[in-house]
Structure 1
Amino acid sequence: MKPLCFVIMPFGKKPDATGRIINFDQVYENFIKPVIEESGLESIRADQEMMGGIIHKPMYERLILCDFAIADLTTANANVFYELGIRYTAKPYTTFSIFETGTKIPFDLVDVRCFPYTIVEDEISELESKKEALKKYIAGVRKSKVTDSPVYQLLDGIEFKHNLSSDKVEMLREKAKQENDVSELIQEVVESKSNPDKAAALAKLEESLPDKEDWDASLAINFMLAYRSINAYPQMVTYIESLPDHLRTTVMVQEQYGFALNRSGNKNKAIDVLTAILGDKGSNSETLGILGRIYKDKYMEAKGQNEFLAKGFLDKAIEIYSEGFQSDLRDFYPGINAATLKFVRGDQDSAGFANVVEYSVLTYLSKKDKVSMRKAPSNFDGYWPHASLLELAILQNNKEKAFTYLSNAIATAHESWQTESTANNLELYHSQGDWVAQVIQVLKEN
């Protein structure tokens, strides 16, 4: 049985101190994970960041019980340092720290041995030689068992004791395998062509598992996003409400709760949920983007029935979307919606605002195209940029450019709710010409 190696690192794409975006998922898949497996270890990755930084029971168990741990200190992520501190207290040795050379290591860790790697043009420089060097580094530590924890180096006679059973390690191993198996079953349900009731199949799978108190964050997220991907919004609401507090109350889950409530028709409760997030955590583009969508929907419903109420909802949606875009100019979703609604309202600056958003989208695409160290693109990477450019082209009444972006959008991996959402947005542009109806029809068919 292979020893377990727990990987502590950021998730997704994060900026470093210079503003450069680092794709940590690719660092893990192409560098860290292969090294661990080729060193004869079994890799388990931390998932706390998927839940907004929450540290829960399985996380502590893994930090304490796994035979080895690798911590990536790049970007000086607070969660990583917190977990590294726990690990150093629990284990005198077999903890490895790595970092990208553009990172300034905090003063407290300058005496800790760290393994460097360098990213140039979104790729790890000399990847194969770095992998061999890290494998050699790990092999040396495994053989010598030299104390690497500053806690044990500086405090003579310290000893960490716990009453966790030795069987717990095997339980961790089995649990990780089981959750991988369940994730594969979830994907099979979502992708099934023959199952007429995917929501019921997901619910049955959900009920077959142990109490949700013992679930890892990644498993909880997988179920939630599966319900969303098949447009099972009422079931998604019910599922989120069934989660234990430590999962349900995190920002990511609450944002998706607001999203699902809106899609289920409970707009007022959705507004309450999202407003509470903003009150607690401050402005962020994701929460504001979802909240802006609700007011946009309310505007669409009131339009033609109560013009004064409709105008109020339109103004509110533009205000919220604009705040979302200004809070993070790299997130163009609230920007494109603000540009669309400014056009509807007849704002004189709508074209200028649209140019700013277009620059944001094109900048994102130009950076993404340089990234060769990646797997198949995610729905965000593939669909939304082209859908956003499609809306901007229609706003500018550029039919030729719009048809190009339409082809690019539907040719990429996407879910039905995404094209449906874009088609609904474009209903606002019928005044641009009959060709807009053709675009909408193509989106609905794809």
Structure 2
Amino acid sequence: MKPHAFVAMPFGSKPGPDGQLIDFNAVYSDYIYPALEAAGLETFRADEEQRAGDIISDMFQELLIADLVIADLTIDNPNVWYELGIRHALRARGLVLVCGGLCPAFDLYTQRKLRYSLSNGKPDLATLESDRQRLTDMVKATMASWHERKESPVYHLLPNLQEPDWKSLRVGDVREFWQQHDAWENRVSLACSTRHIGDLLLLADEAPVAAFRAEARIKAGEALRKGGRFCFALEQLERGLSVEPDNLNGLREKGMCLQRLALAKEPGHSLDRARLHYQGVLKNHPRDAETWALLGRVDKDAWIAKWHRRGSTPEQMSEDAAYEDALLRAAIESYASGFRHDPRHYFSGINALTLMHLYQHLTSDARYENMARIMAGAVRFAAECETDASNIYWAKATLGDLEVLDGTPANVKAAYKEALTRSGNNWFYVDSPYAQLRLLNDLGFRPDTVAAGMAVFERALNELDEPEKKWEPRQVLLFSGHRIDEPDRANSRFPESKAETAAQKIGEALDELGAGADDLALAQGASGGDILFLEACKKRGVRLQLLLPFPEPTFIQKSILPSDKGEQWRQRYYALISTLKFPPRILPDELGPAPKGVDTYERCNLWLLYTALSYGIKKVQFICLWDGNKGDGRGGTAHMYEEVQRRTGQVTWIKTKDLG
């Protein structure tokens, strides 16, 4: 959705400083509204609200959530001053002041201010075009520099003052907005839980204001990171952080993506880059134990990478691990700093403690001996005090880890068995401590206790089925193409007579891409191009997924039956979906009705594209059947082609003009 602008200004005609009437409705319609529209913003003025309710409530809500506020200070209007004061108090940024003619009050603290010319009480036609352009340019600059200089004198003069949380300031009488927000947020949560990342990305686009878009982008980044799509995750996180650069969860997630990209040896990425990122986060959040622990993991990974090489003997690994003692100390210090700042964070504590013991084992250097003795009791106490049911397993596993470091094999066995009773038979939960034990085993650390722990987890893992890896397509074949022409279409675009030739060309394109059972096809199911593509994919064993913009009966009425031989195309559609492993997904059922001003066909195009991209940008292959012209309306193949070109550039274009 477009960014949201609220205009605080007088209504109707009011006398100016010289007594002449000024038509502020004309100022809005001829000057402010067109300038904001040209800048890509959706504009709202309190007198335009049509719903029943209190205009004061509407105004408060807009001043709280609007991405941008324009305040017209041409006359000394108490309502506008009041609204300006509210915005100054609630938001540090996102404000532009305008004034017609000369007004002494315009010497307010802000750089974001413009004068416009008036003639006979209306915008001066001689300068109107340039005045609009200047306002458009300033609005764009203000939106682009969202987190630079603060426009509010309140937040500028009180630099430690924090903006209130958007959600905590719900205006009670404006229920409709928050009901819509809550429904949107529920869909975001559902998309996260079901890992429908394409849904999440579309919902992020449709968030009503920037703060909610940032929240959804960061959630999308987190889901993509968990799904192993680190490059695309990083892109989404950076988009969210461009709006909320101090979002701590987003900053942590970005660091994890940088770390994983470095470990995958992606060009341009290194553990040093991830380390610098976390160090930057800690400058603003020096007491955040989780970030310290993530930095510790970067240092630990850097240390492990130096000695854990395939083919190395245990002796070689121990020797190399000891040689890289500086990296090991860096990891210890990072984890220990996290635990010092938050002694409840036993995760950082047990990691610091384990590495301290390893350090002494490898180097015979006892520098951490006293610290480790003190920390062991603190870590045990923190783990034993855990009350969050979702973390009890990890607390119990930490108690087992402590026994590995300084206990007996029998105590190790008992502690880990106790932890496993809280694992919920989660394979990943069970495997995580086992991986740490394997690392200790590689370095010959306390063989008796390590072996006892490994035996417990090996037995548990043998009783569990390793989760099947989620099916991942080798490539995603995304399609958009013309429907078969209606019988009375004036300018022929894709007549029924060309369907057979088009099917042949689509098949050739799929063969060129090596389409097969390891691939996924994404399309709607309209007559003509869509159905021809899906039939060709089915013939080659490609897995099919249809995404429809409307409920199926409506879709058939709009996108199948109007075509020449529409009934035959309907039967072909039914034949296709009868063989699908998964039924067509329906856009309004999955993501709710289209927001105001959003075209349903464009929305479905983006849904298809985002779903394809969620599998990995490099996997997407777009095939289009298109005449190269703009469509009959919004959301056609031209729109999809432009979006794909902007994102991937991997396009196979079958031109309907060349079908003979």
TM-score, normalised via structure 1 length: 0.52
Match of 1:310 among 324, 330, 335: 324
Residues 339-378 of structure 1 aligned to structure 2 (within 5 Å): 339-346=353-360, 347-348=365-366, 353-369=371-387, 377-378=389-390
Residues 3-44 of structure 1, C-alpha deviation per residue, up to 9 Å, x if partnerless? xxxxxxxxxxxxxxxxxxxxxxxxxxxxxxxxxxxxxxxxxx
Match of 2:338 among 324, 349, 365: 324
Match of 2:179 among 149, 173, 178: 173
Match of 1:402 among 398, 402, 412: 412
Alpha-carbon distance in structure 1 between the residues aligned to 2:418 and 2:218: 29
Residues 282-318 of structure 1, C-alpha deviation per residue, up to 9 Å, x if partnerless? 3432211111111111111102575576222112111
Alpha-carbon distance in structure 1 between the residues aligned to 2:366 and 2:410: 24
Residues 315-338 of structure 1, C-alpha deviation per residue, up to 9 Å, x if partnerless? 211122222222222212221111
Alpha-carbon distance in structure 1 between the residues aligned to 2:172 and 2:436: 56
Q: What corresponds to 2:402 in structure 1?
A: 392
Q: What corresponds to 1:237 in structure 2?
A: 234
Alpha-carbon distance in structure 2 between the residues aligned to 1:387 and 1:352: 24
Cα 1:241–1:405, aligned 2, differ >3 Å: closer, same or farther? farther
Asked if 1:422 is matched to 2:433, the reply is yes
Alpha-carbon distance in structure 1 between the residues aligned to 2:415 and 2:217: 35
Cα 1:58–1:400, aligned 2, differ >3 Å: closer, same or farther? farther
Q: What corresponds to 1:383 in structure 2?
A: 393
Alpha-carbon distance in structure 2 between the residues aligned to 1:417 and 1:230: 14
Q: CA deviation at 1:377?
A: 2.2
Q: CA deviation at 1:251?
A: 2.5
Identity %: 20
Match of 1:257 among 254, 260, 269: 254
Q: What corresponds to 1:267 in structure 2?
A: 271
Q: What corresponds to 1:76 in structure 2?
A: none
Residues 79-98 of structure 1, C-alpha deviation per residue, up to 9 Å, x if partnerless? xxx99x869xxxxxxxxxxx
Alpha-carbon distance in structure 1 between the residues aligned to 2:457 and 2:429: 13
Cα 1:292–1:59, aligned 2, differ >3 Å: closer, same or farther? farther
Alpha-carbon distance in structure 2 between the residues aligned to 1:59 and 1:338: 48
Q: Which moved further from structure 2: 219-228 or 320-329?
A: 219-228
Alpha-carbon distance in structure 1 between the residues aligned to 2:372 and 2:242: 41
Amino acid at match of 1:245: S
Confirm or deny: 8 A CA contact 1:288 1:321 kept in the other structure. Answer: yes
* Aligned residues between the structures: 274
Alpha-carbon distance in structure 1 between the residues aligned to 2:276 and 2:244: 19
Match of 1:279 among 268, 275, 283: 283
Cα 1:408–1:239, aligned 2, differ >3 Å: closer, same or farther? farther
Which of structures 1 and 2 has the bigger CA Rg?
2
Amino acid at match of 2:205: P
Confirm or deny: 8 A CA contact 2:288 2:342 kept in the other structure. Answer: yes
Alpha-carbon distance in structure 1 between the residues aligned to 2:281 and 2:409: 40
Alpha-carbon distance in structure 2 between the residues aligned to 1:354 and 1:443: 30
Alpha-carbon distance in structure 2 between the residues aligned to 1:420 and 1:228: 20
SS in structure 1 at match of 2:343: coil
Confirm or deny: 8 A CA contact 2:386 2:395 kept in the other structure. Answer: no
Cα 1:274–1:424, aligned 2, differ >3 Å: closer, same or farther? same
RMSD: 3.9
Q: Which moved further from structure 2: 288-297 or 167-176?
A: 167-176
Residues 116-195 of structure 1 aligned to structure 2 (within 5 Å): 169-187=175-193, 189=194
Amino acid at match of 1:412: R
Give unmatched runs, 5+ long, in structure 2.
Answer: 1-60, 67-85, 92-170, 264-269, 308-315, 465-660
Q: CA deviation at 1:428?
A: 3.6
Alpha-carbon distance in structure 1 between the residues aligned to 2:348 and 2:460: 20
SS in structure 1 at match of 2:299: helix
Alpha-carbon distance in structure 1 between the residues aligned to 2:222 and 2:235: 13
SS in structure 1 at match of 2:223: helix
Asked if 1:247 is matched to 2:237, the reply is no
Q: What corresponds to 1:437 in structure 2?
A: 454
Q: CA deviation at 1:262?
A: 1.3
Amino acid at match of 1:202: I
Amino acid at match of 1:236: A
Q: What corresponds to 2:545 in structure 1?
A: none
Alpha-carbon distance in structure 1 between the residues aligned to 2:233 and 2:422: 25
Residues 130-179 of structure 1, C-alpha deviation per residue, up to 9 Å, x if partnerless? xxxxxxxxxxxxxxxxxxxxxxxxxxxxxxxxxxx999641221111221
Cα 1:342–1:426, aligned 2, differ >3 Å: closer, same or farther? same
Q: Which moved further from structure 2: 424-433 or 291-300?
A: 424-433
Cα 1:355–1:203, aligned 2, differ >3 Å: closer, same or farther? farther
Alpha-carbon distance in structure 2 between the residues aligned to 1:58 and 1:244: 23
Q: CA deviation at 1:257?
A: 1.4
Cα 1:239–1:422, aligned 2, differ >3 Å: closer, same or farther? farther
Alpha-carbon distance in structure 1 between the residues aligned to 2:427 and 2:64: 38
Q: Which moved further from structure 2: 205-214 or 396-405?
A: 205-214
Alpha-carbon distance in structure 2 between the residues aligned to 1:311 and 1:181: 48
Q: What corresponds to 1:21 in structure 2?
A: none
Confirm or deny: 8 A CA contact 2:213 2:240 kept in the other structure. Answer: no
Cα 1:335–1:181, aligned 2, differ >3 Å: closer, same or farther? same
Q: CA deviation at 1:271?
A: 0.7
Cα 1:329–1:258, aligned 2, differ >3 Å: closer, same or farther? same
Cα 1:237–1:399, aligned 2, differ >3 Å: closer, same or farther? farther
Confirm or deny: 8 A CA contact 2:338 2:349 kept in the other structure. Answer: yes
Q: CA deviation at 1:229?
A: 4.6
Alpha-carbon distance in structure 1 between the residues aligned to 2:176 and 2:373: 56
Alpha-carbon distance in structure 2 between the residues aligned to 1:250 and 1:321: 22
Q: CA deviation at 1:363?
A: 2.9
Alpha-carbon distance in structure 2 between the residues aligned to 1:238 and 1:416: 30
Alpha-carbon distance in structure 2 between the residues aligned to 1:236 and 1:439: 36
Q: What corresponds to 1:52 in structure 2?
A: none
Confirm or deny: 8 A CA contact 1:261 1:270 kept in the other structure. Answer: yes
Alpha-carbon distance in structure 1 between the residues aligned to 2:243 and 2:406: 46
Confirm or deny: 8 A CA contact 1:302 1:309 kept in the other structure. Answer: no
Q: CA deviation at 1:244?
A: 4.7
Confirm or deny: 8 A CA contact 2:403 2:411 kept in the other structure. Answer: yes
SS in structure 2 at match of 1:215: helix
SS in structure 2 at match of 1:383: helix
Alpha-carbon distance in structure 2 between the residues aligned to 1:288 and 1:229: 20
Cα 1:350–1:423, aligned 2, differ >3 Å: closer, same or farther? farther
Cα 1:337–1:240, aligned 2, differ >3 Å: closer, same or farther? same
Alpha-carbon distance in structure 2 between the residues aligned to 1:233 and 1:410: 31
